[in-house]
Amino acid sequence: MNSLGKRSKREILRLAGLCAALLVLFQLASLSAQYVASTLTHHQALDELELRISLDAAYLDVGNTALNTPVNTAAVQRYLARLNSALYNAEYPLMVTALQSVEYSGELPEAFTTRQTLKLTNSEQAIEIDVAMRSAMSELNFSPLAMLFSLVLMPLYVRISGRRRRRELKIAQEEAPPTPLLIIDLKDKTLGNGVNDVKVVLQNKPLCFYTALVKYCMENPSEPLQHHKDVPVELLNLANKVFGRLIELGHTKRKRPDFNANLDKTLSEVRAALDEVFADFTAEKERYYPPRAQGEGSRSKQHSFALTTLSPEDVEIIGN
C-alpha cells in the first residue's frame, strides 16, 4: 500500500512537471511571437511617421540652413501638439518629443521609455526628429491561451508517450532472449526450461524429492542440507505431500518411498535430468543444480546440496 502511494505521488509530480514544462514552452512561444509582432509594429509606425512629417515639411516652417532662416518655434509646437494627439488617438506606440530641436510641451505616457532619433534629408535641408516609444519588452503579456493549450495537450502527450513507451518495451522484450526457468510438471512428471521443447521425465522418487527440495530451499534459503545428517523433517513432509499429489494425479499406486535413503543416487538422477534440460543454458542451470561435493567426498561436513539462490520467480510448478 505504501509502495502504491509512493508511485502515485511520483506520477502526480511527473504530470505536474510535464504541465509546467508545456506551460513554459507555450509561454515562450507566445512571448516570442509578441516580441516579433511588437518590433514589426514599431518599425511600421516609424516608417509612417517619417512619411507623414516629410509630406508636412513643405508647409511647416522648420527653418532653412541654406537660406539662413530660423525655425518658427510656435508653429512647430502647434504642429507637434496636433501630430501627437493624432498618434495617441490612433494608438500608435510612439510620440514625437522634439522636431528640429523644438521640444513638445505636452505630457508623454509613462510607458514611452525608449528614445530614438530620426533624420529626414532632402535637397535643401535635414530635419531631425526625436521620438519616444514603448519598449518591445513592455508589451509582452502572459498568454491565457498558453495555459489552455498546456492543459489540453498534456493528456494527449501522456497518452502518446505512454503508447510509445509500451511499444518500445514490447520491441525490447521481443528482441531480448527469453530467460529460462525451471518448469516442474507433476501432471506428466517432467522437468523443462520454459524456452524450448526439451523435457525430461523423472521417476517418482527423484521428482518428489527434487520438487520438495525446491520448495524447502525457497522457504529456507540459508539452511544447509548436509549428507552426514538426516534430511530435515520439513523437507521429508514436503516430499511425501508431492508423492501424495502424484497418487491423486493417477501416476502411481506404489508404496511411499524412503526419501532419506540412497540420497546420493536420487540427487545424481536429478542432476542428470537438469544437465539435459539446461544443456543450452549453463549459467542459468547453476541456481537449480544441487551442488556436488568438492574435495572430501559427498559425506563431507562442509558440503551442502541446498539451493541457496532460488526465488519464486525462478520456478513454476504445474499440477501442484
Task: Convert the pLDDT of each residue in 90-144 to its tens digit.
Answer: 888 899 999 888 899 888 888 888 888 888 886 667 888 899 988 766 665 666 7
Residue 3, pLDDT score: 46
Sheet holding 199-201, edge to edge: 199-201, 190-192, 182-185, 315-318
Mean pLDDT (the chain, rounded) = 82
Residue 4, pLDDT score: 44
Label residue 184 by pLDDT band (50, 70, 90).
Answer: very high
pTM: 0.49
Share of the chain above pLDDT 90, in %: 29
Burial class (CB in 10 A: 0-12, 13-18, 19+), 298: middle
Q: Is the pLDDT of residue 298 over 60?
A: no
Residue 152, pLDDT score: 67
Residue 238, pLDDT score: 94
Which residue shows C-alpha cell 535635414? Answer: 126
Distance of CA 298 to the CA centre of its chain: 54
Residue 1, pLDDT score: 43
Distance of CA 106 to the CA centre of its chain: 59
Interior CA angle at 286 toward 193 and 197, to 5°? 15
Query: 31 CB contacts (<8 Å, ≥6 apart)?
Result: 140, 143
Question: Which three cell numbers mark 201?
Answer: 521425465
What is the tens place of the pLDDT at every residue in 199-246? 999 999 999 999 999 999 999 988 888 877 888 999 999 999 999 999
What is the tens place of the pLDDT at every residue in 273-284? 999 999 988 888
SS3 244: helix
**Pairs from 283-290 (Cβ < 8 Å, separation ≥ 24):** 284/179, 284/180, 284/181, 284/193, 287/314, 288/182, 288/214, 288/314, 288/315, 290/213
What is the tens place of the pLDDT at every residue in 250-262? 887 778 888 888 8
Q: Are 192 and 183 in contact (CB under 8 A)?
A: yes
